[in-house]
Amino acid sequence: MSGLRSAEWYVGSGRNAYIHRAWMRRGLPASAFEGERPHIAIANTASDLVPCNMHLTEVARSVSHGVYEAGGVPLELPVPGLGETLVRPTAMLWRNLAAMQIEEMLRANPIDGVVLLGGCDKTVPALLMAAASVGLPALVVPGGPMISGSFRGRPLGCGTDVWKLSEDVRGGELSSEDFLSSESSMIRSKGHCNTMGTASTMGLLAEALGMVIPGLAGTPAPDSRLLEGAHASGRRIVEMVAEELTPQKVITEASIRNAIVALAAIGGSTNAVVHLLAIAGRLGLDVSIDDFDRIGADVPLLVNLQPSGEHLMDDLFRAGGFLAVLKEVRELLDPAALTVSGTPLVDHLESARIWDGDVISSRGEPLQERAGIAVLRGNLAPGGAIVKPAAATPRLLQHRGRAVVFDSIEDFHERIDDPRLEVDEDSVLILRGCGPKGYPGMPEVANMPLPRRLLEAGVRDMVRICDGRMSGTAYGTVVLHVTPEAADGGPLALVRTGDSIVLDVAARRLDVELSDQELAERTPSPETLAAFAAPERGWQRLYVEHVTQASTGADLDFLVGASGPEVHRESH
């Protein structure tokens, strides 16, 4: 093997090559520096503060063994991990920072290819964004879901059951003591959430994009087959370097289309929309938010997993796995889309089978006929908004109601249970100031808890509208990602409590019943503007000044488009 990028650092008799070799001679053999063995970074997001990714150091060892076996030089590269449940104010604020840091470290170091290890929600998107920008051969090893815990004799859906149980407490159906006793049962093993939340969705969609060895995504974190797949991934990345198989050749408009089809079929997280748009933006692909509706809206829901269904991720793996799902929608997939195996995704579907029809439905008997993301527009969302019909209450998908407006999540928490709040089950809860700029970072607060007195009366869903996101493990009739966001001059900032809101998902409309003139004459209240005050320093200031809207991926404007792996200046 010749022409390796790492040889630019190590091969030669000059001072700089000497320095590079000498500082790396800490156990590596001389053959590592002769320009014949590819140097493979293992980009590891493991951290004790990213509990879903803590096991990835073990996975990295298996990758390393595979790299060695194939003749490469494995080099573990710790990169930022983002603990979804821990990081304040929201992990989404740091996705672009993590992607930028990973990109720069991949470009700056003498490596020829990279294996990307991620699990928790934002780590897989950040890794893919970085890899797309740098353009070195790369593949993903998803960390995999945890196995299911149980409470009171039934399986617990990580995330989804948190929302359900907490609402049961607020509604008086479950004691606080019993709620807290479920806490130690929720997380039974290593791995990310076991529902079809964002972590599970992005692991599977990384495979739909072609960036995972087919059949590996969705393998539970404690399953020994994950380590087997990690070893195989280590071997494969060495071959990919020789083949010059880069993300630009794998992630194409065809593979994005396949990911959109897959997103609908699995009932995946709405967060995938903003992540796929960001990944596509890094590659300059012609993909827009409307493609999610155009391509995915009529795709049937085939996977019976929480939050849209009943089962959990280890059930999906047992029932035939992701490839069995894709086989059912094979005619909707683009046959030209490649995978890191070097062959098209559709070539890997022939032997897939459904072993449990209660978990994976056939195309002929889907759980829902049309389950994809719906993209809404109207005078409340001229740039678009999204809703997930599969997780909504069908009767609320066409609804007219009185707006009850909150300027911030703090305002919401302060007033939602106030007995003086004028709200009923037909009201439309509106939360603004939660977009990329307004929070900042676009938090998962859109699935607003319902007013306590309505919960006590048995109400379990209402129409909710927000310029932020909701957890992939959440459910309900929630309109998300309203664009432009209120803090960026969007009309959501002009809505007042008492206005009439019309949601019509079938017609793809979201409107406030005001004329254009009435809207034009309104200005945001001082309280509303105060809630959108921009940060004054650091990353948050840079983020607010440069983040794009959700409809284009909420990436930084100066990171859209790839930059390649070249570094034109020496360090000495």
Tell whether 198 and 89 lie within a shared domain: yes
- Residue 538 belongs to some domain of the structure: no
Model confidence at 548, pLDDT cuts 50, 70, 90, reads very high
Q: What is the mean pLDDT of residues 101-130?
A: 97
Q: What is the pLDDT of residues 474-494, one digit of tens each?
A: 779 999 999 999 999 999 999
CA 252/CA 257 separation, integer angstroms: 9
Lowest mean pLDDT among 70-79, 365-374, 460-469: 365-374
Q: Are residues 131 and 234 in the same domain?
A: yes
Which residues are bridge partners to 145 per DSSP?
192
**End-to-end Cα spacing for the chain:** 27
Number of domains making up the chain:
3
Span 312-326, mean pLDDT?
Answer: 97
Residue 159, domain member (yes or no):
yes
Q: What is the mean pLDDT of residues 270-299?
A: 96
Q: Mention every residue, 6+ apart, whose C-beta is less than 8 A from residue 495.
A: 380, 403, 405, 430, 432, 501, 512
User: Looking at residue 163, what is its pLDDT?
Assistant: 75
List pLDDT tens digits, range 365-390: 999 998 889 999 999 999 999 998 88
Q: Give the pLDDT mean for 422-447.
A: 95
Residues 143 and 155 in one domain: no
CATH code at 489? 3.50.30.80
Q: Is the pLDDT of residue 84 over 80?
A: yes
Contact between 540 and 87 (Cβ < 8 Å): no
Q: What mean pLDDT comes out for the span 126-142?
A: 98
Angle, CA 384 vertex, CA 380 and CA 388 arms, to 5°: 100
Measure the CA–CA gap between 413 and 425, rounded to whole angstroms: 18
pLDDT above 80: residue 153: no
Residue 368 is assigned to a structural domain of this protein: no
Structure tokens at 261: 């089809």
Supply the pLDDT for residue 208: 98
* Same domain? 205 vs 329: yes
- 215 shares a domain with 139: yes
Query: Which amino acid does the sequence have at 239?
Result: E
Task: Report how far residue 329's alpha carbon sits from residue 310's, in angstroms, rounded to the nearest whole number.
Answer: 21
Residue 542 within any structural domain of the chain? no
Query: Is the domain of 140 the same as that of 164?
Result: no
400 and 285 housed in the same domain: no
Residue 131 has pLDDT above 50, yes or no: yes
What whole-number distance in Å separates Cα of residue 19 and Cα of residue 7?
13
Q: CA 40, CA 422: separation in Å to the nearest integer? A: 60
Q: Does residue 145 have a cis peptide bond before it, meaning omega lies within 30 degrees of 0?
A: no
228 & 340 share domain: yes
233-277 residue pLDDT tens: 999 999 999 999 999 999 999 999 999 999 999 999 999 999 999
What pLDDT does 488 receive?
95
Average pLDDT of the chain is 94
Hey, what are 549's tokens? 């809207």
* Same domain as 97, residue 209: yes
Which residue would you say has higher pLDDT here, 168 or 50? Answer: 50
Any domain includes 24: no
| Average pLDDT of the residues in 335-343 | 97
Report percent pLDDT > 90 for the chain.
82
Would the pTM of this model clear 0.85, i.e. be above it? Answer: yes
Claim to verify: residue 421 and residue 527 sit in the same structural domain: yes
Residue 32 lies in a domain: no
If one compares 356 and 528, the residue with the highest pLDDT of the two is 356
pLDDT of residue 1: 42
Residue-wise pLDDT for 11-24, tens only, equals 999 999 999 999 99
- pLDDT over threshold 70, residue 2: no
Residue 113 within a domain: yes
Residue 546 lies in a domain: no
pLDDT at residue 133, rounded to an integer:
97
Q: Domain range for residue 318?
A: 38-147+189-348
Same domain, 229 and 314: yes
pLDDT of residue 156: 81
pLDDT at 572 over 90: no
Q: Are the beta carbons of 45 and 106 closer than 8 angstroms?
A: no
pLDDT score of 431: 97
- Does one domain contain both 176 and 231? no
Handedness of CA 434, 440, 441, 443 (dihedral sign): negative
